Amino acid sequence: MSTTAVFYDPIYLEHDTGQGHPERPERLETTMQLLDEVRLSEKLRIISPRDATVEEIQLVHPKGYINKVKSTAESGGGWLDPDTHVGARSYAAALKSTGALLEGLERIFSGDIDNAFCMVRPPGHHATAERGMGFCLFNNNAVAARFAIKEFGISRVFILDWDAHHGNGLQDIFYDDDKVLYISLHQYPHYPGTGGSSEVGIGKGEGFTVNFPLPARSGEEVYLAAFDQVIIPVARQYEPELVLISAGYDGHFSDLLCSMLLRGNSYAEMATRLKGLAEEFCGGKMMAALEGGYNLVGIAISMADTIAVMAGEEIRVEEDTGGDIIFPSSRRGMEIVEATRETISSYWSV
């Protein structure tokens, strides 16, 4: 059985996104309640993490941008863009959000835990080095990847992003870097408009960015085909020393911001494949960080199912699909999987 940590702190609830904002504190509260109800929390180590230092965040973000977030919070709050709000406690929450990933890595590489799920706010995958956007302030997984490379001497980090929005920040930060393999499955065209299959990286990073720009209503079968036919074969050739997940749950069928028709079981199946990959190549070193997901029931079920897989537990949350919802296999989605496979076939044997 895996020793799985969930990193969580009440300060995440103090990150104020503005009235009526979909990225709200209840996302975490509902999920923590469900973990208790299904008695999964009894199988986990719930840890309040340390703060990231400014120097650690500077592995990705310049000091000027970090100071901008800090000063905006200290002045009472404000907007970085029309979607991204900084509240009075948002800077403190962001330090502990990124810090959760860094402490997770420290504990994983020391052997204290096998893997970790970072149930954090604010999220990170849209934040570029110099700009917060898409609800994100600091790019948590980007800092974690750079931290792992610097502190633990590794040179192959695999980031899988299953959030239904493309992680433009992660792509941008590592676009010319072969030390990070970044693969994203996302609804396209959709915010932020990036992530076409032709976007494969540049320079020494060419071939180390892989995008699946999937149509709406693609469904579980398409996602698992992408994993089995492309993602896992590519990742096995890469031989990762660490597996990171940008775990967004806005692809769930109940989510109003996206339309990908996934279920809690869909995320469990993807997590199972990634856990197997991590066990094969890097001693199970795997960590997930929460990104999007805005329906409270959908995110709670999906997160619980993901964490159960990571913990080696058979617990799955029964899900009410309403009876009339059809989960089709998208022919266009399968065509995109094939198009992505063809695009990257000059870099990887797929």
Which residues are the active-site residues? 126
CA-based R_g, the chain, Å:
18
What one-character-per-residue DSSP string does 150-190 give? Answer: HHH----EEEEE-SSS--HHHHHHTTT-TTEEEEEEEESS-
Residue where the block lists tokens 């063809």: 342
Instruction: Return the exposure string of 214-253: e unless at least 16 CB atoms fall within 10 Å of the residue's CB, then b.
Output: bbbbbbbebbbbbbebbbbebbeebebbbbbbbbbbbbbb
Q: Report CA-CA distances (Å) from 349 to 216, 242, 342, 345.
A: 28, 21, 10, 6
Q: In terms of Cα–Cα distance, which of 2, 72, 33 is closest to 279?
A: 2
Distance of CA 157 to the CA centre of its chain: 14
How far is it between the farthest Cα atoms of the chain? 53
Q: Distance between CA atoms of 326 and 88, rounded to whole angstroms?
A: 44
Strands (E), the chain: 4-7, 45-47, 77-81, 84-87, 115-118, 157-161, 180-187, 209-214, 242-247, 286-290
Residue where the block lists tokens 């901008």: 68
| CB 182, CB 170: distance < 8 Å | yes
Q: Distance between CA atoms of 21 and 5, rounded to whole angstroms?
A: 28
Q: Parallel, antiparallel, or unpaired: how do β-strands 77-81 and 84-87 relate?
A: antiparallel
CA angle 218, 140, 3 (to 5 degrees): 85
- Identify the DSSP state of 330: P
| CB 314, CB 272: distance < 8 Å | no
3-state helix, strand, coil in the chain (%, to 5): 40, 15, 40
